[in-house]
Structure formats: structure tokens, C-alpha cells
Structure 1
Amino acid sequence: MGFGERIGDTLRVPGRGLRRFVTVLTVLVLAAGVGSAVSLTAPTLVADLGLTGAPAAEGPPAPVPALGPLAATAPTPTTAGLEAVLGPAVEDMPGRFAGTVVDPATGQVLWASDADRALVPGSTAKVLTAAAALLTLNPTDGFVTRVVAGTQPGTVVLVGGGDPTLTALPEGEDGVYPGPARLDELVREVREKVPGPIDTVVVDTSRYSGPTSAPGWDPSDVAAGFVTPIEPLMLDGGRLDPTVQDTPRTSEPALEAGQVFAELLGADDVETGTAPGEGERLASVTSAPFSELVEHTMRTSDNVLAEALAREVAIARNGQPSFAGAAEQTIGALTQAGFDPAGAVLVDGSGLSTDDEVPARLLGTLLAAAATPAEGERDTDFLRPLITGLPVAGGDGTLDDRFGIDAPSAPGRGTVRAKTGTLTNVSSLAGLVTDADGRLLVFAFMSNGASPATVRPRLDAMAAELGGCGCR
């Protein structure tokens, strides 16, 4: 895959001392979903815990090993074996299909069907955004929201730092984002520095440039709850209900955040403007680390958070913090790291645009790099949040309601982990699974031109079949 062969001056690959990721092989994470569901529903569990009134045993029984690393000698599927299993499904797939299966331990492409064909990816485009963020940003850093003194007495400036997870919920109440920075903390810090009255809050959104909506976006997506205008200041991703992932959003996220902040400070006026160059810093709060936010983006397919991460990549690489600049720098970061983005066209960071195009080959290559076993000084374990953030089939995230127990894909429950992508006539699924012989495999399946209601169950079934066969 060539990763790391073209590291340049503008790419900041984090050192080992800064990595906060799980370095255990991905196969352990996958295996955990297999055994736990059985053990938690065992009929003897209540009795074993002494909750039925029956006499408890003298000490717990000896644990029975259930999980362990996959054998490095697990046989590799053959191309012919994979074709025998996946080929008929491709033949029956409506619309245009592209797919690939990769062995992450070797980087070898084991099976491909039009894998270089660029199709509209939907939210699997977030794989590119997340990879670029992990390649570029310090994983322990986060978004920083600041308040500085204004030029006039009684005026403060709320400076948007790009953090869509900033919340007005009080401490102890959780929204959809992990470990969010809180507006209450900003208010407390400001009050410590400015004990007198505050009359005006100025809202500074100068961190971003260009349009707040990308080409190919459906304007109804704001009301539908999938996205909000992309500004560097907002509360809870612009959600009207901060506890629900997909809920109607505001059309003025920065202004509304400023209004809530002003109310908490007792200020009457809210204006737009920019912070003075020498303004005294009065307060600041920082989001959860970028590594955790990448995981959240992958698991929940959060469009707003993906767009914010893409702009941070652009800023870190001295690009324009706009849709076009973020897309350009995302491709640039992947290229600089040695990946081949040929055929990929991005106009946003979330995959919400129907103008995006990505080849299945690139999705497979990126996920395979993230799933590669850690080896020596040039390992890729800092890409691991691409894998640990993948939803579990039938378990969580955007796969929680798929791979139903009565569906043909049911054997994939708890074993398939994958990023989803769905738009009108667009369906994609890219992730990994362990096959029947104990080999970890990466896959990327994409379809354009047919209804997701028809295609998604077929893609799920393909992933489940991949996990159920030895394919030799």
C-alpha cells in the first residue's frame, strides 16, 4: 500500500508518546461481539450470580477462555473461492456495482469487481475524511472554543473553533457527543475574569470561509436532521434536541449559540464580528480528543462532525477552510501518506453530496491499512480508530437495525463491522469480518442506481457470506 513512504513536511504523523488508541489487533475487537451475546443470555447466569435464592457455589467457576488472537497461519481465501461465493450476488445486484476484498495482513487484493470504478459513496466517504484526520491531526488535541475581551467595555467575543460538540447542557446531562465541552464552563471562566456587567456578545465565525452548504446537498436535510449549515460555532451539532442523533437542526447555528451564551451571561445584544488581534483571552474549553471524535464519526455517521474534521485537516495543511479546500486537503493528505486516491472526487467531508465519487479500491486500501497488525517503527496503529469506530452488525451505530435475526444476513450479527453509506439510489458497506478459517478480511461493496431498500439487504448478506465461508 505504500503507506509512510511519502511522509512530507506538512504531514504530522503523531509519535508513539501521543497515541491513545487501542493497539490490540482488530481481530480481538471483532471476536468480542461473537461470544458476549451468548454468555449474557445463558440460562444459568442468574443462578450463578446467586439471584434466585439457590445456594451460591463456593467461589466462581474457573473462567473458560473464549477469545484470543487469530492465528497468523490462518489460511487465505482464494480468488476462485471468493468468486464462487460473491460472484452470484454481484450478478443479481441491481444498478452499478463495485467491490473488493483485501487481506490486511499482506495488503493483497483477494477479489475485485470493478474496484477502480468510482461511484457515489454516501457516508463511506467518511472513511477518507477520518483517515486524513488521523494522518494529519494530533490525536490528543481537540477543538478549542475561546472567549476574548471585546474592544468596548462590557463586550466579549465568542470565537468559534470549529467544535460542533460544544453543548449548553449542564454537567451531568449528556447529549449525543462524547465528553463535550460545555458552555457553562465558558460562562464560569468569563465571570471570574469579568465581574462587572456584560452587555454584548460578538460571535466570531471567521475560522471558516466559503459557503455553508456543499454542492449536491439536499436543502431538506437540515429540517430532516441530517446536517446544519457548516459554521465553526454551534451547539450540539445544531440539533434542536441535543439528545437525538437525527433531529431537526437550526439554520443559524452560530447565531443561536451566541444567543444562548448571551442569555447565560445576562447580555442583551448579540452581534457578528471578529475578535481583536490583541484581545485578552477570558476563557476556553476543549472538546474530546480528535481520536475519540473520529470513532464517533465512524460509528454514528455524524455529518456535521465529519465536515468539522475535514476543515481541521485543511487548516493544519495550510489550505482553505472551506468545502473545496477541505476536500482538496483530504485527498492531499492521503496522497502524501502514500495512498492512491486516483478516481476519487470529493466536494464535502461527510459523503452527503451526490457529487462525491470514490472507488471501492480506495475504501478497501484505507481500511486494510488501519487493520494491519502493528509492526515495528512504521506501523499504522494511529489509524486504528477507523476500525474501532466501525459499527457492529446488529449491535450499535448505523448497523444497529440491520442484519436482523430473521434476515439472510443474520449470521453476520456481531461479527461484521462496517461503515455504511446511504443516499437516494446509493448504497455502500465497507468494513471487515473474520472468515470461517479465522482470517481477518477487509471488504468494500458499493452500488449506485437502485433503491437502498433493495440493495442494502443484499450488501449485508454478502458481508455475512464472506464471514461464513473459508472461500478456498
Structure 2
Amino acid sequence: MTRPLRTAGGVLLIVVLLCAAAALGYVETHAARSPASAPARPSTPTGAGASALDSAGAAPASTPAPPGTAVRPSALARRLRPALAAGALGPGVHAEVIDVLTGRVLFGNGSDAPGAPASTAKLLTAAAVLATRGPQYRITTRLAYVASGTARGTLVLVGGGDPTLTAATGSTHPAYPGAARLASLVRAFRATHRHVSRIVVDDAAFAGPTVSPAWDADDVPSSYGAGITAVMTDGGRASPGAVVRSAAPDLAAGAELAARIGSPHLPVTRGALPSGARTVASVRSAPVSTLIEQMLQESDNVIAECLARQVAMVEHDPVTFTGAARAIRAVVQRRLGVRVGAGMVDGSGLAASDRLTVAGLAGVLRAAAGASDSGSGSPLGALMSGLPVAAWSGTLDDRYVSGSARAGAGVVRAKTGTLTGVSTLAGLVHDRGGRLLAFAILADRTGATPQAEAALDVAATRIATCGCG
């Protein structure tokens, strides 16, 4: 069974935001792409008023609506329904469009029918961890040492659930910019001049299986999936530049630690922090806001699952796949007022059995966008800035570059989702009347993925270019 290349848009299009997104230089964490083969894209994101010319040179799709006029649902439906009827999307298409300001549902098609969300489920994880931990929270990794007793000489790497801790050294680029470095822990330990007889990795911050029973057998190890452990380096990779991630990233991190202290042959085992161990050094991850953006930009499943467990910790739920999913659902309903049902079984959307509604997805986006626009210092701003921009960044960087979807370039900000037979898109646009709209489109009985994605892009562009006042 084919798995996703990238498992599975706009708030104010401020040039500063877009330049910042480009400058972050997010690393492709799923499948390498050749720059030479990528289609040309605009040198700068286009605005909402850009001419909607398709590849045949057709006239603009609509004329701008007078400012402040309300969207007529019937007019939006006339523009959107033909796009949703595209054969590539198959018969299982659900869609909803909401006016962010008023909360009015402008279009609905199967809005309350659960479907497989793929990686659009990460929107819920992002909202929940921002609402609980907050955007400035940093995850701590500790290095402890036992100086006496039967465990004397034991060096313990104690994980707090930071998926981005890097083993990169010198000029080697980490998998995630801004990551805490294992080398910093090693420097502090070497200053103690202690002898090491063995290395223990302490994963006690997480519980339950490291691989979800709802995932396919091919998902771990793969380029997009790893075992979910509280100790890991570089998103579960055995080395910073590795393509395939590890089924046992905690032990791989312990082996990296052994190599960095100059004793690569030391035994590395899992275990609890021994009695008498004392912390000798600690490092902290980049802020949660940065981790959220890295997760959303490249649809990183490992970051998503580790952040989901942060929600479970705060909510005092079991720090497992199911406990984290339950905690996320509770936070989204209690803090954002959005009912999302009980269909989530993980925090990434990688499980084919995950179920969400487009009403829930659009509702989370509306709540986050509304909170961010309220001027109240909402913690949910990182969700907005983390969304990929059409034809510009993240998982949308090579989409919206040609054909009738090109008018959405630089206008659509959205989270993608892809599994076998599933293509989803959920995000934000300003329409031609200046209204901020949240949308979610879920197709879970599709044909070929490239054609399904192209059809979704056309549909999102129809929303963005609608002069439906």
C-alpha cells in the first residue's frame, strides 16, 4: 500500500510574514525533490486581487465584490460545486466554508459526516498544544550521572519529549533549525572529567507502544515515521542527514551520545533514572511556536506525535497515542468551543482509521483565526503563521503554480493531508470582497493523488477568487 510522500492559507498576506516563512528554510522531511524538476513559481506571492488567468488564458473568474458586502451562499455554491464534482476527488467529498468574522456557514456538503482527515488532523494538535503549553514553552532534555553505588559510571539521557534535539556538530546542519544540541550536553559533561561505563536512555515521560497499532506496518521505519519515544534526535533519525527514520530512536540517540563522548562501543540500554543520579547538564528545545511551524510546514508526523503527548501531560491523561488524542479532543472542545467527535486515534493523522468532520476542521481554523485577530495576545498565532502558503512554502510550495489554480498562489494558506485514497485541504483565504473565510475539504475515496490534489487546489482557488457578494 502506497504511503504518503508528505502526510497528511490566508490570514493577512503581510509581506513580512511571507519573507519570514521563506527565511526559516524548513527542511523537507519526507521525500527529497529535485529543484530542477519543480515547476516555476511566482517570484513573490500574488495578492487576492491577482488576475485569475488559467493556462488557456481565460478571463478572470470573477469581479471583486464591493467592500463589506456579505457572501451569498448560493453564489459561492455555484462556483464551488463544479470543482468539488471533479472526478479525481471521487464520490466521498466533504466540504465546509465559514465566515471567520460572523461564524456563518456559507457552504456545507457532508459537513458533519466523519471522514479520514490525514494530516489536516495536525491542526487540532497544533491548537491544543498552543492552548495548553503556550507558544513560548520549551521542552527540556537532561543529562544525569551516577557517581556512586552499584550504578556508578552510568550516564543517563533523560527525555522530555523534544523530537528536534540534534546530534549535528560543527558545520553539519540540524534537521530542524534552532534545535537544542546534544553537543551542548556533551561539552558540559566532559568538563566534569567523569568515567562512563554505560549509557541509559530514560523514556519515562512517554508511555504505551512506540508505534501506533493503527498505523500500517510500512510506516515505521520510513522517511515520514519513527518510533515515538521521549528521547530522540533529529526527528527520530539515527543521524542528522538520514532519510529513513528509526524504529528505536531512543537507542539511536544513546548511540550518538556514546560517540560524542568518545566511547562509541559503550552499551546503550533503556531504563529508569537510577537512584543517586544527578543532573549535570540540560538543554531546551526551540519554543513550541517554532515546533508548530516546523510540524505544519512539512507535515512532520514525529513532531506531531511528540507535541500531542505534551497535551496529554498537561491534561493528566495517559501519555500514549490514545491518551494524547483524547486530551486534544477535550482541549479543542473546552478551550475553543469546537466539537470534533471521538474519531481521532493519534496526533498526526497518519492512522487511516482517524475520523474528523470538515465542520470540526473549519471550526478549529475559525476559532484560531478569530482569536489571533482579536488583539488579545492569543497563543494560537503560531498556527496561523505556520500554515503553508500556496506556491510559496512547505507542502504547498510546488502547488498552485499553473492552470486554473494559479490565482490561488500566495492567497491560499492551508494544511495538506495525504494518505492512500485520501486527499484533504483545510485553511484560510481572503476572498475578493476582503472577507476572511475558513474552509475544509476532505476527499477520502480519491483516485491518483496528484490529480486529487490539483482538484482541491482548484476548489480552494474558487473560494479565494469568489466575488460572491
Fold equivalence (TM over 0.5):
yes
- Deviation, 1:29, is 3.5
Question: Does 2:455 correspond to 1:437?
Answer: no
- Deviation, 1:218, is 1.7
Of the three residues 75, 83, 101, the one matched with 1:81 is: 75
Q: Which amino acid aligns with 2:230?
A: P
Contact 2:165–2:182 (CA under 8 A) maintained in structure 1: yes
* CA 1:470–1:277: 2 relative to 1, 3 Å: farther
Q: Which amino acid aligns with 2:102?
A: T
Q: Which amino acid aligns with 1:27?
A: L
- Deviation, 1:123, is 0.1
| Length-normalised TM-score, structure 1 | 0.82
| Residue in structure 1 matched with residue 62 of structure 2 by the alignment | none
- Higher RCO (C-alpha 8 Å, min separation 6): 2
Contact 1:118–1:344 (CA under 8 A) maintained in structure 2: no
- Deviation, 1:103, is 1.2
Distance 1:363 1:422 in 2: 15
Distance 1:469 1:98 in 2: 19
* CA 1:33–1:170: 2 relative to 1, 3 Å: closer
> 3-state DSSP class of the match of 2:352?
coil
Question: Does 2:253 correspond to 1:257?
Answer: yes
* CA 1:138–1:432: 2 relative to 1, 3 Å: closer
* CA 1:282–1:127: 2 relative to 1, 3 Å: same
- Deviation, 1:446, is 0.6
Distance 2:76 2:15 in 1: 21
**For 1:72-471, what aligned pairs fall within 5 Å after superposition?**
74-92=68-86, 93-150=89-146, 152-192=151-191, 194-240=192-238, 242-243=240-241, 247-267=243-263, 268-276=266-274, 278-372=276-370, 379=376, 381-405=378-402, 407-451=403-447, 452-471=449-468
Contact 1:307–1:350 (CA under 8 A) maintained in structure 2: yes
Q: Which amino acid aligns with 1:416?
A: V
Contact 1:360–1:446 (CA under 8 A) maintained in structure 2: yes
| Residue in structure 2 matched with residue 27 of structure 1 by the alignment | 12
Distance 2:126 2:66 in 1: 28
Distance 1:277 1:401 in 2: 53
* CA 1:316–1:462: 2 relative to 1, 3 Å: same
* CA 1:376–1:114: 2 relative to 1, 3 Å: closer
* CA 1:161–1:262: 2 relative to 1, 3 Å: same
* CA 1:39–1:190: 2 relative to 1, 3 Å: closer
| Residue in structure 2 matched with residue 21 of structure 1 by the alignment | none
- Superimposed CA distance per residue, residues 322-360 of structure 1 (whole angstroms, 9 cap, x where no aligned partner): 001101111111122142324341111000000100000
Q: Which amino acid aligns with 2:14?
A: V
> 3-state DSSP class of the match of 1:442?
strand
Identify which range, 453-462 or 348-357, moves more after superposition. 453-462
* CA 1:27–1:73: 2 relative to 1, 3 Å: same
* CA 1:39–1:261: 2 relative to 1, 3 Å: closer
Q: Which amino acid aligns with 1:386?
A: L
Distance 2:444 2:16 in 1: 32
Distance 1:392 1:236 in 2: 25
* CA 1:199–1:373: 2 relative to 1, 3 Å: closer
| Length-normalised TM-score, structure 2 | 0.83
Contact 1:299–1:390 (CA under 8 A) maintained in structure 2: yes
Contact 1:215–1:347 (CA under 8 A) maintained in structure 2: no
- Deviation, 1:30, is 7.8
> 3-state DSSP class of the match of 2:137?
coil
> 3-state DSSP class of the match of 1:142?
coil
- Deviation, 1:427, is 0.7
Q: Structure 1: 5+ residue runs without aligned partners?
A: 1-24, 42-70
- Deviation, 1:72, is 12
- Deviation, 1:139, is 2.0
Identify which range, 138-147 or 267-276, moves more after superposition. 267-276
Distance 1:132 1:408 in 2: 35
Contact 1:210–1:323 (CA under 8 A) maintained in structure 2: yes
> 3-state DSSP class of the match of 1:220?
helix
Q: Structure 2: 5+ residue runs without aligned partners?
A: 1-9, 23-40, 46-64
- Deviation, 1:415, is 1.1
> 3-state DSSP class of the match of 2:418?
strand
| Structure ID, larger Rg | 1
Q: Which amino acid aligns with 2:109?
A: S
Identity of aligned residues (%): 39
Distance 1:143 1:124 in 2: 24
- Deviation, 1:243, is 4.3
- Deviation, 1:219, is 1.9
- Deviation, 1:278, is 5.0
Distance 1:437 1:119 in 2: 31
Contact 1:117–1:343 (CA under 8 A) maintained in structure 2: no
- Superimposed CA distance per residue, residues 208-229 of structure 1 (whole angstroms, 9 cap, x where no aligned partner): 1111111331221234311101
